[in-house]
């Protein structure tokens, strides 16, 4: 049986205030999609930040419903920040079956739609089917799979160009007490994954043209980002995003214009979680 999971499709930040998060990420130099309202049962809405091959999402909870009680609880218990990774698949139902045959447990198979404002003033529909790995399969955070049934209404051309020149997810960052053990567990979730030991912990390659997951020990995270207040990261989720950009000077210009502190790193420039809704955002020249 072939493993159906091809890489990282997108990630999402669960945020405390969606309007403020959208404003802040626009100040960081990203093009923000119009607000996408989910169903009344979901009680949530989002903004996406699109790249040619992947994207990330700001997800906000508008009102409590039976369908989002778990996310409200997670936000209160863990804090805002990078909560989830969504994986690339062709078909959610077939992926669930194939993973079950491989002994990898999933749950929550379902489909949903949301309206999308289109450039010509009309409204389209973005449709998805999703299925999640069970919590027992994931060392920390949430990892699920996303089938895009209407890619043409998600990857809109006008959303892919950004003032800060961002062009893709470079890596997903996380902190682990046991990077090798957690890396081996995460690696089971992708078809073409490999694990490599690194000076700071471990790295999981997730597939072709797909952002890797980079695990840091607590000490190496502090050494890599000495200005970081670890308490500002979500508890039991992911620590940050590394973003590819075409021109680091454009990142600096966006941050300077918004009076947001830019922290030099070995790879580029980073923004602290306090300035990015609970996540490290590190910009690196591609």
pLDDT in tens, 99-155: 999 999 999 999 999 988 887 888 999 999 999 999 999 999 999 999 999 999 999
Cα–Cα distance for residue pair 183/202, rounded to 1 Å: 7
Which token pair is 271? 């923004």
pLDDT at 1 over 80: no
pLDDT in tens, 36-90: 989 878 899 999 999 999 999 999 999 999 988 999 999 999 999 999 999 999 9
In a domain, 118, yes or no: yes
* 115 in the same domain as 178: no
* 176 in the same domain as 124: no
* 263 in the same domain as 184: yes
R_g over Cα of the chain: 18
From 113, 142, 160, the end of a domain falls on: 160
Of 86, 79, 76, nearest to 48 by C-alpha is 86
Lowest mean pLDDT among 37-41, 219-223, 261-265: 37-41
> Is 26 exposed, middle or buried (CB count within 10 Å of its CB: 0-12, 13-18, 19+)?
middle
Mean pLDDT of 28-37: 95
* 143 in the same domain as 19: yes
* 112 in the same domain as 180: no
Burial annotation 94-131 (CB, 10 A radius, 16+ → b, else e): ebbbbbeeeebebeeeeeeebebeeeeeeebebbbbbb
Task: Identify any residues that bridge with 81 across adjacent strands, giving them in sequence order.
Answer: 14
From 160, 179, 210, the end of a domain falls on: 160
Residues 244, 168 contacting (CB under 8 angstroms): yes
pLDDT at 2 over 70: yes
Cα–Cα distance for residue pair 7/186, rounded to 1 Å: 12
Q: What is the mean pLDDT of the chain?
A: 96
* 199 in the same domain as 149: no
> pLDDT at position 79, please?
98
Which token pair is 197? 């030991």
Q: Secondary structure of 16-66 in the HEC alphabet?
A: CCHHHHHHHHHHCCCCCCCCEECCCCCCEEEEEEECCCCEEEEEEECCCCC
What CATH number is associated with residue 117?
A: 3.10.180.10
175 backbone dihedrals φ, ψ, rounded to 5°: -110, 140
**Number of domains into which the chain is organized:** 2
169 backbone dihedrals φ, ψ, rounded to 5°: -80, 125
Structural domain for 247, as ranges: 166-285
Give the strand order in the sheet containing 36-37: 36-37, 44-50, 55-61, 7-15, 81-88, 142-148, 123-133, 106-117
Phi-psi region of 120 (alpha: psi -120 to 50; beta: other; left: phi over 0): alpha
In a domain, 1, yes or no: no
Lowest mean pLDDT among 34-38, 86-90, 193-197, 226-230: 34-38
> pLDDT at position 41, please?
81
In a domain, 2, yes or no: no
């Amino acid at each position: 049986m072939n493993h159906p999971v091809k890489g990282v499709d997108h990630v999402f930040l669960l945020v405390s205030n969606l309007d403020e998060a959208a404003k802040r990420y626009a100040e960081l130099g990203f093009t923000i999609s119009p607000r996408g309202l989910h169903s009344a049962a979901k009680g949530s809405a989002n903004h996406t930040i699109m790249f040619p091959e992947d994207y990330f999402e700001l997800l906000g909870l508008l009102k409590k419903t039976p369908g989002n009680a778990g996310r409200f609880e997670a936000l209160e218990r863990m804090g805002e920040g990078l909560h989830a990774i969504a994986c690339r698949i062709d078909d959610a139902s077939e992926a669930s079956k194939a993973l079950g045959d491989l002994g990898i447990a999933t749950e929550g198979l379902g489909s949903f739609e949301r309206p999308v404002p289109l450039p010509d003033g009309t409204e389209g529909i973005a449709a998805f089917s999703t299925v999640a790995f069970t919590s027992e399969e994931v060392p920390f955070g949430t990892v699920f799979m996303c089938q895009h049934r209407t890619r043409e209404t998600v990857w809109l051309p006008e959303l892919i160009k950004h003032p800060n020149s961002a062009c893709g997810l470079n890596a997903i960052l996380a902190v682990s007490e046991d990077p090798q053990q957690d890396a081996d567990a995460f690696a089971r979730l992708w078809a073409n994954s490999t694990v490599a030991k690194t000076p700071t912990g471990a790295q999981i390659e997730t597939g072709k043209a797909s952002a890797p997951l980079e695990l840091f020990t607590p000490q190496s995270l502090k050494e890599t980002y000495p200005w970081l207040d670890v308490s500002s990261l979500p508890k039991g989720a992911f620590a940050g995003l590394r973003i590819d950009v075409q021109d680091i000077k454009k990142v600096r210009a966006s941050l300077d214009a918004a009076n947001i502190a830019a922290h030099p790193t070995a790879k580029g420039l980073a923004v602290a979680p306090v300035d990015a809704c609970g996540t490290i955002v590190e910009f690196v020249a591609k």
